[in-house]
A and B are shown apart, each in its own frame.
Chain A
Amino acid sequence: MFSRSHHVIVGLEIGTSKVCAVVGRLSAEGVLNVVGVGQHRSRGVRKGEIVDLETASEDIRKALVEAENMANLEVRSVFLGVTGAHICGFNNRGRHHIPPTYREITEEDVQDVIKNARAVNLPADHHVVHLIRQHFIVDGQPEVVNPVRMEARQMELDVHVVHGITSRLQNPIKAVKGLQIEVEDIVFNGVASSLAVLGNQEKELGALVIDLGSGVTEYVVYAEGIIKHTGVLAVGGDHVTNDLAYGLKVPMGRAEALKIEHGGALLTPDVRGRAVRLGSETGASDRTLNIEHLRRIMSLRLEETLEIIAEDLDRAGLLDYLRAGVVLCGGGSRVPEIDRLTERIFGLPVSIGRTRTVSGLAAALDQPEFATAIGLVRFGSYQLGRPARARGLTARLAEKLGSMLQRS
């Protein structure tokens, strides 16, 4: 049914509000096409992490079935997005001496320096999700992209390490494996989103991607073409809804509806003194609801979330690198005026993420909510694009999963 020249890549994001599966097809020419999208309301996830495995599995199955039907194929394996407050990233440097005197750097030396950079001092129960190469430093010469065949005594490598707690990374893997579907690799959601919404030029200029999800907010900084910083804040759209439910004294469902209908990231003059009537569903007496309060609660929360991110980047000294500005994606980027609020806080141009690096179903590509899942497909296509490493990857994964299961 399928020609061998096509690779099918499936990205699966188990989000807090929805489970989303995107099917992409990579042609022999290296063109990635999105051919199927499936989504289902997610019920077993809080703050980006599964709290009810049974329900989550059911939701994942439904989303995958929908994607399968649309793409008219069977999903065998997925690239799985992971997130959660336990995930964090930092930069590390690995060193490698080339004995005894200088000679040409070989591929083995590169592997050695990667190994050294990987040997970071992490607690035993942590697992490295990504080890992202930044730059090589060859005999003190910085910013070397590829050191092979250069002559040197010593080589260093800067990497960005994204790690999380093994047992908590294992839960989504377990949910997927329970459906008899293989996990090709796990990818940090923030990294996936950035792959979907950033082009090469923006990565080169320096950009911040903020994925405003419902459970968590992830952010990734690219500068000089490489990932400089990643972070997760376990605050998202759910918090906004919860704040509204608490502040306006309405049920969660009603708060969610109010957020969508009347929400906004800024307290604009036009909402001052505005009120809406709340129809009674339960037979209770009618209430009027002050829109100004709603906006105030919401804008405070969003402002705080963005401020925490800005503070973190400020501390890392990265705010000056973001020449291409801030790109927002995720459901939170649909909040009216969120771009203006972000602009005010970061003082940078802000845009809403559109997937430009992939072709296919326009309806799916235009929606910022799908950025992560599409980014997962993109990630998969990069992995498959390196056939020489494909074998190694599978073996590595098998080993990883094996060790994870053993530890449990």
Chain B
Amino acid sequence: MEQPITNPSVAGGQAGPRLKVVGVGGAGLHAVEHLSRNRADAASLAVVHTDARLLGQSPIEDRLLLGSHLTRGMKAGDPDVGRAIAEGEAERIGEFCAGLDLVLILSGLGGNTGSGVAPVLARVARESGALVLAIVTLPFEFEGRRRTVQAQAALRLLRTAADAVIVLPNQKVAGLIEENASLTEALGKANELLADGVRGLCRLVTHEGLIKADFSDVCEAVRGRHAESCLAAAEAAGEGRVRAVVQRLLESPFLEGGAALAGADALLVSIAGGPGLSLKEIHQLMDQINRLCEKAQVIMGAEVDPALEDRLLVTLVGARRVEPDGTADQPGEVDERIDEAASALVSEFPTGAEEPGRRPPAGSTAPRSPRFAPPPPNLNEEETRRLLDHQRRKSGRRRGRSNNADQGLLNLEVISKGRFDRSEPTRHRGEDLDTPTYIRRGIVLN
């Protein structure tokens, strides 16, 4: 099958930004199908896969089959193969993304096509001038260590390639689903959460709002490389819908009960409601959201859509900039350095021509580009913590209320909560009060 199955990409709203939602790999395919069932208007949907059969079954018309000459229409057997295929067909991917303003990549990392193709697609799309937002899921823990490792590797690549990555670990969904739910239900739920978020995002970008939050605001919130983001959408109707919608948002596994919000630097809130949407409701809602994320720069948009009747729909996109000096990096990820990832981004596999800009693989002694941070010192957990504490103290941050929302340490490691390990956590403005105060405030006892 030499001829690619592509349709000319359909541009979104004529005046608005051209947007394409691309599902990559098996999970991406399902997510996009899920979206197409509940058609997110004006966003054109597309799918990319290496499996001709799956692609053929998909109801989405805008498709791109990769690597047909290599895999003969079968799945890629390995993420590296997937990546090699994509690198080899970078040109075709470039055509696929040409003329777009925003590319939304939906993918499940951990598999072969998704992990391999998504980072390349992101890079190529970005090179062709589009803003790339990747929304990816990480595998469930039960899927095994290999897939987790593959997913982590792919995520590193994706982070360097895309403008923003929203990571939705499936394992967090597991906490939301009843224990005896079937696998189909669990995966369905994960897809549903993903689709909800994407739908909210598309609505935000394409609809004309009363208080306008638009495409440029999304860029503003997520632009800046290596930003970490979170995404949640919720809907409620009837009396007390503001209270219900906030509660549902906080129940979203991806916000970690509001902890993710407290750490966010920028937050985009999109509110959509029927004609009955009142100022008081918006006020109440924003009041509650603002209280959850004091540190963040909040961008808010509201729109009235008669089709929503008395439903209230809220979408949150939060982003946290990872500090360039790496102190905000999680110690578990200290080894996942950007430089390593970036140098590995260029495939080491035969993709045809040797690219001139190719960087040596990680671990080589060749000089690195100064843009990248030095490799982390090889420390054990205790030493890392001490070092980070020390740095924090040196940077002059004093204990005080202004420091409350600034809680890098919370995410840094799992601190045993001792007696309160199993009790309901006491949260106050995103902080877990069960963790000793002196640890949260970064005070060193010596």
Contact = CB atoms under 8 A, between A and B. Distances in A.
Instruction: Say whether A and B bind each other.
Output: yes
Interface of A: 46-47, 51, 85, 121, 123, 233-235, 238-239, 241-243, 245-247, 252, 290, 293, 296-297, 300-301, 303-304, 307-308, 311
B437 A85 contact: no
A123 B241 CA distance: 10
Contact of B419 (A234, A242, A293): A242
Given A241-B419, A297-B438, 11 more contacts: A47-B426, A234-B426, A234-B433, A238-B419, A239-B420, A242-B420, A242-B434, A246-B436, A252-B418, A301-B437, A311-B401
A168 to B, nearest CB: 10
B438 A233 contact: no
Interface string B428-446: 1000011011110101010
A336 B322 CA distance: 43
Nearest to A47: B423
B432 to A, nearest CB: 11
Given A293-B445, A296-B438, A235 B433 contact: yes
B397 interface: no
Q: Which of B243, B433, B443 has the most CB of A within 10 A?
A: B433
Given A123-B240, A234-B433, A296-B443, A243 B424 contact: no
17 contacts: A46-B419, A47-B423, A85-B424, A85-B426, A121-B243, A238-B420, A239-B436, A242-B420, A243-B437, A245-B419, A246-B416, A247-B445, A297-B445, A300-B399, A300-B441, A301-B438, A303-B437
Contacts of A121: 239-240, 243
A304 B445 CA distance: 18
A301 B436 contact: yes
Contacts of B399: 300
Contacts of A311: 401
B358 interface: no
A242 B437 contact: no
- Top 9 A-B residue pairs of the complex, sorted by shortest distance between their CB atoms: A243-B436, A234-B426, A300-B437, A242-B418, A301-B437, A293-B445, A121-B240, A304-B437, A242-B419
Contacts of B428: 233, 308
B417 interface: yes
Contacts of A246: 415-416, 418, 436, 439
Q: Which of B247, B417, B424, B443 has the most CB of A within 10 A?
A: B424
B433 A243 contact: no
Main secondary structure of the interface of A (DSSP, over half): helix
Contacts of B445: 247, 290, 293, 296-297
Nearest to B400: A307
Interface residues of B, number: 26
A46 B418 CA distance: 12
Interface in B399-425: 399, 401, 415-420, 423-424
A355 B247 CA distance: 40
A296 B437 CA distance: 10
A299 to B, nearest CB: 9
Given A47-B423, A123-B240, A238-B419, A300 B438 contact: yes
A247 B436 contact: yes
B436 A46 contact: no
A308 B430 CA distance: 13
A293 B445 CA distance: 6
Contacts of B417: 242
Contacts of B424: 47, 85, 234
A235 B431 CA distance: 13
Given A46-B420, A121-B240, A307 B401 contact: yes
Contacts of B244: 123
A308 B401 CA distance: 10
B433 A51 contact: no
B246 to A, nearest CB: 12
Contacts of B439: 246-247
Contacts of A242: 417-420, 434, 436
B155 to A, nearest CB: 32
Given A47-B424, A121-B239, A123-B243, A252 B438 contact: no
A252 B416 CA distance: 13
Contacts of B423: 46-47, 51
Nearest to B417: A242
A85 B423 CA distance: 11
Q: Which of B239, B240, B415 has the most CB of A within 10 A?
A: B240
Given A121-B239, A121-B240, A121-B243, A297 B436 contact: yes
B404 to A, nearest CB: 9
Nearest to A297: B438
A51 B426 CA distance: 16
Contact of B434 (A239, A247, A304): A239
A307 B419 CA distance: 23
A253 B102 CA distance: 59
Q: Which of B239, B415, B423, B437 has the most CB of A within 10 A?
A: B437
